[in-house]
Structure 1
Amino acid sequence: MHRVSELIRVMHIMGHMMGGGVEATVMNHYRHIDRDRVQFDFVVDSDSTVVPREEIETLGGRVFVVPPYKKLPLYSSACEKLFREQKPDIVHSNINALSVFPLRAAKRAGVPIRIAHSHSTANPGEHAKTLVKNVLKPLSKLYPTHLAACSKYSARWLFGDKAVDEDRVHIIKNAIDLDKFSFNPRTRSRKRAELGVTDRQLVIGQVGRMCFQKNQVFTLNVFAEVLKQRPDAVLVFVGDGPMRADVEAKIDMLGIRSNVRQLGVRNDVNELYQAFDVLMFPSTYEGLGMAAVEAQVSGLSVMASDQVPAQAGIIGRLVSFLSLDDASKWVAMLVSTAAVGNRSDEIDEVRSQGYSIDDSAEEMCAWYEHLMATTGVNA
């Protein structure tokens, strides 16, 4: 039986790291967890493009590189070998339906506590991806000893209604460092100057990986229509990903290059929210939507698709849910949006809904300790 005074080592399975929201959530918890009680290590695929190795190692963690999961036999054997050598107390997998593979390796290696964490859902439009997810979903409860999810919506998608209704899924919210996102008019002025926009120009932002899920091409189609009525409007993309070339091609095809700023992966997203007048969030599917939560802390209006869980609308007056089938409504709302430089932040309201990273990190720490105290070594 584990003694609470001992340091718990948790090995987080991250898959292909490239600066996305799931990685931000795990790193947020890692920065704020009591590392005298719990220490994280990270297992990343060799084709990862954004791995914060220096920060992880400064905080006392380690980064282990394995072959990409697309090379499944190599990936599985490398994971099993790693788990046998390092003997982590807990393996916590963050790769949704694909968690079946590292958790199978963890079980074979004798890891006593194995957590499958659902951060997302699926969309029929991603045919190949959704097929793989649907094949793997029935196996999702085969190898983990415990289940976790960012929301009940994503929990039901991967683990099924019964597991949720029986309270067998531990909810870990996409919590954030709320103070970082508090609104500051001086920050707004400085970031807008960096973007080359005036106080009165409409600035539309989108934060997220450039991929089918985040739907940047839809944003571009809408924005092209907005420019017909607001020709000085500016669209800012933050993020990178597999569809960047498609986004570039679309910008050129629409002839709107001078009105679009592509910033790539940034570490000042909290300040960029303050420069925006509205956040576009037209996802084709979401487990919750971290960017939407962050935006609301700084009092930023969010236009989200109706494929984003209602749970993401923490501040009701700030979030609008619109159908992806009716682009004209998106255009009309954006055209009527004013540049507002004196908005207020919503830290207290967001904290009351359980999104404070300090509270969430302590809760996660206590959960790990509870698992260690109550789980037998032969699970």
Structure 2
Amino acid sequence: MNRGGAETLIMNLYRNMDRSKIQFDFLTCKEGVFDSEIMEMGGQIHRIPYITEVGHVAYLKQLNQFFEENAGYTIVHSHMDKMSGLVLRAAEKANISVRIAHSHNTQSEGGLASKVYKWYVGTNIKSSATHLFACSKAAAQWLFKEQSNETFILKNGIECNKFKFSSNVRNQIREELKLDKNSLIIGHVGRFNHQKNHLFLLEVFSQLTKTIPDAKLLLAGGGILQSNIEEKIKELHLEEKVKILGVREDIHLLLQAFDAFVFPSFHEGLPVTLIEAQGAGLPCIISDVITKEVDMGVGLVQYLPLNDKNEWVKTMLKVTSSSSSRKVSEERLSQKGYNVRKTAEFIQKSYMEMGGTVS
């Protein structure tokens, strides 16, 4: 349970539940930054080794054993995209009555063998899931195919009031990060993996610095490609201009320091970080493969193809030079379905109608 799109949504829902009526427990593989908060809110964290550590057969054995020993759950809500097929099949074997598959993406990661394997285990979803959820229509179509019209779209809502722009917070965060308060700051929040396309972002930023030499790029996140990203920074001689901030728990504050949010992903379901960025009033420059559902219609989102770096630079210069009040109302977020308090009320009601303890 580290900070990521699905994890952030789950925590946003958890924080806004009436936990005297609904309690979340978690089945994960490794320790995460949200673990202490989960336990403080009364949740239990169970762990089994992930499939890449023990292999297919041993992973299935661990899953089956877990659900046999914890058969008291009435609802299992799996956020593992195609891998949910294995989780929900094990839950079905243990006679757990409500089994939710939740799609958060529009493409599998990994090489050909990995994608074939995920396709194979994903075929279990159709027979094992009792309910289908997705963060967007595109994510529903990818994972559930002909069943996509049966899918409930649960939008990746945020705690709107946390993201309201404050110039005082902006200056404070910039001071803490040792940034000039007048420098142009480009920001990105996301895991350091292939999907997020950091190398493209670094190349675009390198071109930007030829026009604005004192511009800075802040990268919040961590992951398996961090060393590749660090090598690219050195190759482009950007050591003094790019800051890697690691996995942060204060993204709502960090966004205040940015002047623009750049997000050139190869694929996405519906990234919660883009909702957060718009909630902070930030101009967002994003790849045109990302669903149009992410645009809240307040004039902050620009879609661009990934085949023209010059166009990305021009757009960054354009949006950061235009004046913006950085104000996006909570009412607007609610109208578009991105107020997590409203989302939590709905999902709590749905869970209670399904009945039982939620895992």
TM-score, normalising length from structure 1? 0.88
Do the aligned partners of 2:86 and 2:122 also contact (CA within 8 Å) in 1? no
Partner Cα separation in structure 2 for residue 145 and residue 324 of structure 1 = 38
Partner Cα separation in structure 2 for residue 84 and residue 135 of structure 1 = 24
Do the aligned partners of 1:280 and 1:304 also contact (CA within 8 Å) in 2? yes
Partner Cα separation in structure 1 for residue 113 and residue 183 of structure 2 = 41
Candidates 322, 335, 338, aligned match of 1:355: 338
Three-state SS of the structure 1 residue aligned to 2:275 is: helix
Equivalent position of 2:195 in the other structure: 213
Give the residue type in structure 2 aligned to 1:55: E
Change (3 A) 1:280 1:123: farther
Candidates 76, 82, 99, aligned match of 2:60: 76
Partner Cα separation in structure 2 for residue 31 and residue 51 of structure 1 = 15
Partner Cα separation in structure 1 for residue 114 and residue 2 of structure 2 = 18
Deviations 1:140-183 (A, max 9, x none): 212111111111110111001x3233xx2122111111000011
Q: Indicate yes or no: 2:154 matched with 1:202.
A: no
Do the aligned partners of 2:86 and 2:121 also contact (CA within 8 Å) in 1? no
Q: Indicate yes or no: 2:321 matched with 1:338.
A: yes
Partner Cα separation in structure 1 for residue 220 and residue 349 of structure 2 = 34
Candidates 33, 45, 49, aligned match of 1:67: 49
Task: Report % sequence identity.
Answer: 36
Do the aligned partners of 2:85 and 2:123 also contact (CA within 8 Å) in 1? no
Q: Indicate yes or no: 2:75 matched with 1:93.
A: no
Three-state SS of the structure 1 residue aligned to 2:123 is: helix
Q: Indicate yes or no: 2:162 matched with 1:180.
A: yes
Do the aligned partners of 2:282 and 2:300 also contact (CA within 8 Å) in 1? yes
CA RMSD of aligned residues (A): 1.8
Change (3 A) 1:126 1:61: same
Within 5 Å, give how 1:109-188 maps onto structure 2.
109-122=94-107, 127-160=112-145, 162-165=146-149, 168-188=150-170
Partner Cα separation in structure 1 for residue 266 and residue 125 of structure 2 = 23
Give the residue type in structure 1 aligned to 2:4: G
Partner Cα separation in structure 1 for residue 48 and residue 108 of structure 2 = 28
Partner Cα separation in structure 2 for residue 315 and residue 125 of structure 1 = 33
Partner Cα separation in structure 2 for residue 18 and residue 149 of structure 1 = 20
Equivalent position of 1:248 in the other structure: 230
- TM-superposed CA distance for 1:340, in Å, is 5.6
Equivalent position of 2:260 in the other structure: 278
Change (3 A) 1:196 1:338: farther
Give the residue type in structure 1 aligned to 2:212: R
Equivalent position of 1:10 in the other structure: none
Partner Cα separation in structure 1 for residue 37 and residue 109 of structure 2 = 37
Partner Cα separation in structure 1 for residue 202 and residue 110 of structure 2 = 19
Do the aligned partners of 1:296 and 1:315 also contact (CA within 8 Å) in 2? no
Three-state SS of the structure 1 residue aligned to 2:27 is: strand
Do the aligned partners of 1:20 and 1:208 also contact (CA within 8 Å) in 2? yes
Three-state SS of the structure 2 residue aligned to 1:296 is: helix
Deviations 1:38-77 (A, max 9, x none): 11100011xx252422211111110001011223222222
TM-score, normalising length from structure 2? 0.93
Equivalent position of 1:36 in the other structure: 20
- TM-superposed CA distance for 1:128, in Å, is 4.5
Q: Indicate yes or no: 2:16 matched with 1:27.
A: no
Structure 2: unaligned runs, 5 residues or longer: none
Partner Cα separation in structure 2 for residue 218 and residue 131 of structure 1 = 27
Deviations 1:183-211 (A, max 9, x none): 11100111111222223211000001010
Partner Cα separation in structure 2 for residue 126 and residue 72 of structure 1 = 17
Partner Cα separation in structure 1 for residue 90 and residue 27 of structure 2 = 13
- TM-superposed CA distance for 1:89, in Å, is 1.1
Structure 1: unaligned runs, 5 residues or longer: 1-16, 374-379
Aligned length: 352
Partner Cα separation in structure 2 for residue 91 and residue 343 of structure 1 = 39
- TM-superposed CA distance for 1:339, in Å, is 8.2
Partner Cα separation in structure 2 for residue 342 and residue 198 of structure 1 = 20
Three-state SS of the structure 2 residue aligned to 1:19 is: coil
Equivalent position of 2:347 in the other structure: 364
